[in-house]
Amino acid sequence: MARYLAVRLYSMALTLVGLTVLIFLMLRLIPGTVVEQMIGADAIASPAMVEQLKRFFGLDQPWYVQYSRWVGHLVTGDLGTSWRTGKPVLSLILERLPVTIELTLFSVAFALVLGVAAGIVSAIRRDQAIDNVTRLSTLLGLSVPVFWQGTMLILFLSIYLRWMPPVVWVDFFADPRRNLTIMVLPAVCLGTAAAANVARTTRACMLDVLGSEYIRTAAAKGLASRAVVLKHALKNALIPIVTVAGLQMGILLGGTVVVEEVFTLPGIGRLVLWSIYQRDYPLTQSTILFIAVLFMAINLAVDVLYGILDPRIRYG
């Protein structure tokens, strides 16, 4: 296990190096800089003032000098300082992180509960009406864009039910009931596609396991159908489901960018969008890299979990 973790951490480090280059260069492909954002399109500024501002932000240096400076700070644990707020990037991320983590966890919980239940029922009732409905629903869940689904939910609830979710964020520990009221729609919206993926994977794995000889033997011994399905079949189908769930958690972290903007949640995703609009390079670069690190950490945790779920798996 120690050797496996060392190899994985080494590959993660190489991936992060490539990501820093990609993030740095792609961000600078966006037209305009923070100087243009601060001056404004209609403002009149002398070339000397523009050069002075570029010098202040270090934009007058070659790109490789700017990149080296940023990576050098990252190595020391310094994520930089936001150009627009003047606050450390790490403090801004930590302020917004609880919102994004809560949204992601609720979305994953919704996806697992709905997806696993739908996949099991669909597999047991194969080629029946409920199976066809489930398969069609998963296809729709994968096809509907998140931003459209969120907008339609808000419009439907406000126009037809005369109810609007609260728009002012409330921390869970301050008011749990109001917090859950705020989070339920974003979690459902974000978790729909993930639930569809989990349902399809669960159905496929359950169909494969239910056709095994040991399942037929367990049923022939007179075990209750619920025990056969949950204790024997589902347990042996968990590894692919855990894989999909782990990948979906990482994908949902990226999906929070859209959902938080639609539902005005003060999370990391909305912070990334704001920093891009403002051309706040240090904040954008370090926040995206932070999300990437979380994604890789989740994948590593899922791989380690394999050995717990299936003792036959051994890491060399």
What does the H/E/C string look like for the chain?
CHHHHHHHHHHHHHHHHHHHHHHHHHHCCCCCCHHHHHHCCCCCCCHHHHHHHHHHHCCCCCHHHHHHHHHHHHHCCCCCECCCCCCEHHHHHHHHHHHHHHHHHHHHHHHHHHHHHHHHHHHHCCCCHHHHHHHHHHHHHHHCCHHHHHHHHHHHHHHCCCCCCCCCCCCCCCCHHHHHHHHHHHHHHHHHHHHHHHHHHHHHHHHHHHCCHHHHHHHHCCCCHHHHHHHHHHHHCHHHHHHHHHHHHHHHHHHHHHHHHHCCCCCHHHHHHHHHHCCCHHHHHHHHHHHHHHHHHHHHHHHHHHHHHCCCCCCC
Question: What is the per-residue pLDDT for 92?
Answer: 92
Structural domains in the chain? Answer: 2-75 (no CATH), 96-309 (1.10.3720.10)
pTM to 2 decimals? 0.82
Question: What is the per-residue pLDDT for 309?
Answer: 62
- pLDDT mean values, one per 10 residues, the chain (316 residues): 78 89 87 75 67 82 88 88 89 91 90 89 86 88 84 79 72 84 88 89 84 71 70 74 79 82 87 88 90 85 70 58
